[in-house]
Structure 1
Amino acid sequence: MKAFIDNYKSVVVQMATPFSVGTGFYLKEYNLLVTNEHVVRQNKMVVVDAEGMSRSLLDVVYLDAKYDLAFVKAPVEHHMGDAQIRKQLVATEGDTVMAVGHPFGLKFTATQGIISNVAHHQGDIQYIQHDAALNPGNSGGPLIDGQGYIIGVNTFIIQNGQNIGFSLPSNYLAQALDEFVRGGGKSGVRCTSCANIVFEPNPEKKYCPHCGADILMISDLEDYTPSGFRREIEDVLSTLHYDVRLTRRGPFNWEAVVGSAKVILSYHEETGMIAGDAVLSSLPKDNIKAIYTYLLQQNDKLRGLSLSIRNNDILLSMVMFDNYFTPESGKNTIQNLLETANQLDDVLLEQYGAMKRPD
């Protein structure tokens, strides 16, 4: 199955909203990105990052809470790969499968497992039960069979269930895609009461025209507005000329890029701590002593920042607390972190032989 992994690196995408992060995948046949509904819930747009495209804010065009599916409009320009889905499920118990995605918001990973049940029922929906590890962040990614076909959409796990995961079979996905295509490119939402797809514009506004049940159309979703201290952080990022919509990674995390450096900002509401971390590079096998000496020397010079080693990675970090945070101090500290990270990663790579971390 390893032969399929490289292809899926250009198919699988990272997705992020102000509320959550997850995984999706591109289907060339439909020119759509597929993910879980719970990953993009309450959002008209989602941030998508992938190997074959630049980070972009893309439109959500289909929401389906019944089957936990969502479709996102693909960007006009991209170099994403292609993958095929099994439109009829042919998997059986004992088959080897692979779940791919971005667990915990990290870059591409693939985990192998075995199907234990192809007919696990949750209400009136049948799921594939397997033990390929699913983690927060790779919801919405594809489940792949031994021939490289997508046979499911990774949907949920049992907490403390020893890697027991569940994927929506691809025949449900194929059916939803065909129904959506019949809408002629219009955005749509599946009614959770009668299961019909309601396309924009909805003549009945807030009600399903088929059964009269309440329905919330994509066009009626409210734009996200940050509140409290999160707004202060985003105001600082705006003054540093970032499009804050592209930086959001869930409710309390932001990712900012400057030059070759990438910084993750996190806010812990309970303690009031704002942490910023940039992974600069990884330790090489040789010349480690010289790198340690350089890091210690830099720590004597840095103000408000610190260099450290985590596992094999070299980190540049900062910590602030919201009760001492002002627009000026926040801007100065975060800007210092970004600019110093962009400088030091080049020094470590070019002068000390540190290893570049994969994006």
Structure 2
Amino acid sequence: MNLATQKMVERTIESIVQVTTPYGSGSGFVCEGIIVTNSHVVGGLKEVLISTETLPKTIGTVVYDDPAYDLAFIRSPLPLVCEHPLALSLEQVHDGDSVIAIGHPYGLNYSTTEGIVSKAARLQGEVEYIQFDAAINPGNSGGPLLNENTEVIGVNTFIIQNSNNLGFALPAYLLHEALGQFKAERAENVIRCVSCKNLIREETIRNDYCPKCGTKLEVAKRRREGYKPTGVVALVETILENLGINVTLSRRSQRSWRSETGATRIDINYYDNGIVIADSPLCRIPQENINELYDFLLAENGLLQRLQFSINENTIFLSYIVVDSSLTLRHGSEALEKLYREAPRYQKLLIERFKALEPKYDEFE
């Protein structure tokens, strides 16, 4: 990436949004005061997690869901302040035009790729898409496709699997059209019927059927039902709620949660083998005082109940490990309450007494 392109990209970062649901994560961008993403990214939910470089992770409301164009609009409860807001380009796109794709592939923050337009108008079903060769991956969906002036020419929507960088973006003119139609409705819960293409206000829907043409509206059903965890997942979330943890904000996927207590991070994961692991990366092993540190950890492990210290590579963890069939509301609540209470204390102690190093966190969110 040349210096000029890099500077242009840096100006857009503040407008790029990460969107997270129990089903996965994707991208979005701020445009005309609202967050634009794909319908398949929000997964039919009314509430999703959103965050930007300047906006802390918060709960956004999906006010428009359009499975026909695979578009969704999200309203943020906090101001979306962008010094250099993204603008739509309604100029004609040509084969060979240079493009830039920005997003969060696989949850990695702010990944940028360059390429060219392979086909300016490629018909897929009833919709024309921009075909381009800038590399995009799962997680890029919903992010912007930019021209050389960092104007939005499309919304990155899908790729063809096992292809050599075949990406497709919904053209900006269709996004512009959808934004105009949505604003004209002057309502906050609007969906587009995939059959008649009319915009429908949710309050007019009965039994999940389109009031205009009678088509079954699957997106209306998903929005009405919402996300409902079951079994062990529901039990874990009940425990977290009882501990005062905002489950929606901490949920990373259907089986993964992350939250902070002070400067200490705690992850909970429920694995396919039936093991539930809640752990906190406290610190990294120092180059000195290692024997004294190990003696301390072994002694503490002999005293701790339900929790234990472990070391993975050079990171010290405080963990609660349980088989799903043994997890109960009472014991799980006691263990997790202890983990949230003791992890910050032990982190401070290990860093101060043994000169342990601050933990390094990965950038997957």
**TM-score normalised to structure 1 length:** 0.83
Task: Give the percent of matched residue pairs that are identical in Structure 1 and Structure 2.
Answer: 33
Counterpart Cα distance in 2 of 1:54 and 1:71: 19
Q: Which residue of 1 aligns with 2:209?
A: 207
CA pair 62-293 structure 1, distance change in 2 beyond 3 A? farther
Residue in 2 that maps onto 1:267: 270
| Per-residue CA distance 1:165-219 (angstroms, 9 max, x = gap) | 2222222111111111111234211110111111243276643343332335489
Q: What is the CA distance between 1:67 and its match in structure 2?
A: 0.9
Residue matched to 1:17: 21
Match of 1:246 among 220, 245, 249: 249
CA deviation vs aligned residue, 1:233-268 (integer Å, no higher than 9, x gap): 111211221121222222222121211233332212
Post-superposition offset of 1:127: 1.8
Does structure 1 retain, via aligned residues, the 8 Å contact 2:106–2:139? Answer: yes
Matched residue SS, 2:26: strand
1:355 to 1:132, Cα distance in 2 relative to 1, 3 A: farther
Given the alignment, which residue of 328, 332, 343 partners 1:330? 332
CA separation of 1:327/1:168 partners in 2, compared to 1, >3 Å: closer, same or farther? Answer: same
More divergent stretch after superposition (104-113 vs 37-46): 104-113
**Mapped partners of 2:350, 2:145: distance in 1:** 39
Pick the aligned partner of 2:287 from 286, 289, 295.
289
Superposition map of 1:5-154 within 5 A = 5-27=9-31, 29=32, 31-154=33-156
Change (3 A) 1:356 1:133: same
Q: What is the rounded CA distance, in whole Å, between the counterparts of 1:168 and 1:225 in structure 2?
A: 31
Provide the C-alpha distance between the structure 2 equivalents of 1:50 and 1:169, rounded to a whole number of angstroms: 24
Distance 1:119 1:197 in 2: 25
Question: Aligned pair in 2 of structure 1 residues 204, 330: CA closer, same or farther (>3 Å)?
Answer: closer
CA separation in 1, counterparts of 2:222 and 2:193? 15
CA-based RMSD of the aligned residues comes to: 3.2
Q: How has the CA–CA distance of structure 1 residues 153 and 242 changed in structure 2, closer, same or farther, with 3 Å as cutoff?
A: same
1:325/1:109 CA distance change after superposition, 3 Å:
same
Structure 1 residues 323 and 200: CA distance shift in structure 2, 3 A: closer
Q: What's the offset of the Cα at 1:229? A: 0.7
Match of 2:312 in 1: 308
Q: 1:305 to 1:9 in 2, by over 3 A?
A: farther
Residue identity opposite 1:289 in structure 2? Q
With 98-107 and 193-202 compared, the bigger mean Cα shift is at 98-107
Aligned counterpart, 2:6: 2
- Residues 8, 81 of structure 1: 8 Å contact kept: no
**CA pair 355-305 structure 1, distance change in 2 beyond 3 A:** closer
SS in structure 2 of the partner of residue 9 of structure 1 = helix
CA distance in 2, matches of 1:4, 1:104: 23
**Alignment partner of 1:193 out of 195, 206, 212:** 195
C-alpha separation in 1, matches of 2:127 and 2:79: 36
Equivalent position SS for 2:57? strand
Could you tell me which of 233, 237, 243 is aligned with 1:234? 237
Q: 2 CA distance for matches of 1:136 and 1:296?
A: 41
Measure, in 1, the Cα distance between the counterparts of 2:336 and 2:229.
19
Residues 127-171 of structure 1: CA deviation (Å, up to 9, x unaligned): 222333323223211122222112221212222224432222222
AA aligned to 1:20 is G
**Partners of 1:98 and 1:295 in 2: how far apart?**
49
**Quick one: distance in 2 between partners of 1:197 and 1:56?**
27
User: Could you tell me which amino acid in structure 1 is paired with residue 317 of structure 2?
Assistant: L
**1:305/1:325 Cα in 2 relative to 1: closer, same or farther (>3 Å)?**
farther
Contact 2:208 2:221 in 1 (8 A): no
Measured in 2, the distance between the counterparts of 1:4 and 1:16 equals 26
- SS of structure 2 residue aligned to 1:182: helix
Is contact 1:35–1:153 with CA below 8 Å preserved after alignment? yes
* Deviation readout 1:266-299 (Å, 9 max, x if unpaired): 212x31122345556789xxxx623876875665
Unaligned runs of 5+ in 1: none
Structure showing greater radius of gyration is 2
